[in-house]
Amino acid sequence: MVRGSLSTMNVKSIGIVTAVGAAAVAIGIGIATAQPDDGEGTPITGEALTKASQAALAFTGGGTVTGTEIGDEESLYEVEVTLADGSQVDVQLDDAFAVVGSKTDGPGADTEPDAPGN
C-alpha cells in the first residue's frame, strides 16, 4: 500500500513539473514573439524610397543602396548603402528624410538579410 501511494505521488509530481515547464516555455515563446524583429523589414517604396535613397547617398558621398526598411527600431527610415570598398553604412532618417544617425560596418560584416532597395 505504501508503494502504491508513492507511485501516485510521483505521478502527481511529474505532472506538476511538466505543467510548470510547459507554462515556462509558453511564456518564453510569448516574450520572443513580442520582441522587435531585427531581420528583414518592410521595404521603403514609391516617392519615399527616392527621397530616402537620395538623402542617404548624399550623406555617404555615394555608393549603392542595397537595402531599405520603414519603421526601423532606430528611426522611421533606414537605408543601407554599400560603398566602393565593400563597407556598409546604415543611414537612419526621420520623417523629413533628415539624417538622425548612422552606423558603418566594415566589408563583409553584414550578416542579416535586408529588404530590397528597389
Question: What pLDDT does 31 receive?
Answer: 35
Question: What pLDDT does 74 receive?
Answer: 83
- What are 114's three cell numbers? 535586408
Question: What pLDDT does 63 receive?
Answer: 96
Query: Cα 42 from chain centroid?
Result: 11
CB 60 within 8 A of CB 69: no
Spans of all domains in the chain: 1-35, 46-105
Helices (H) and strands (E) in the chain, counts: 2, 4
Question: To the nearest whole number, what is the mean pLDDT of the chain?
Answer: 74
Question: What pLDDT does 69 receive?
Answer: 96
- In the predicted model, is pLDDT for residue 32 greater than 80? no
SS3 57: helix
Query: Which residue did the predictor score with more confidence, 72 or 105?
Result: 105
Whether the pTM exceeds 0.75: the reply is no
Q: End-to-end CA distance of the chain, in Å?
A: 75
Question: What pLDDT does 38 receive?
Answer: 44
Class for the domain spanning 46-105: alpha beta
Question: What pLDDT does 106 receive?
Answer: 75
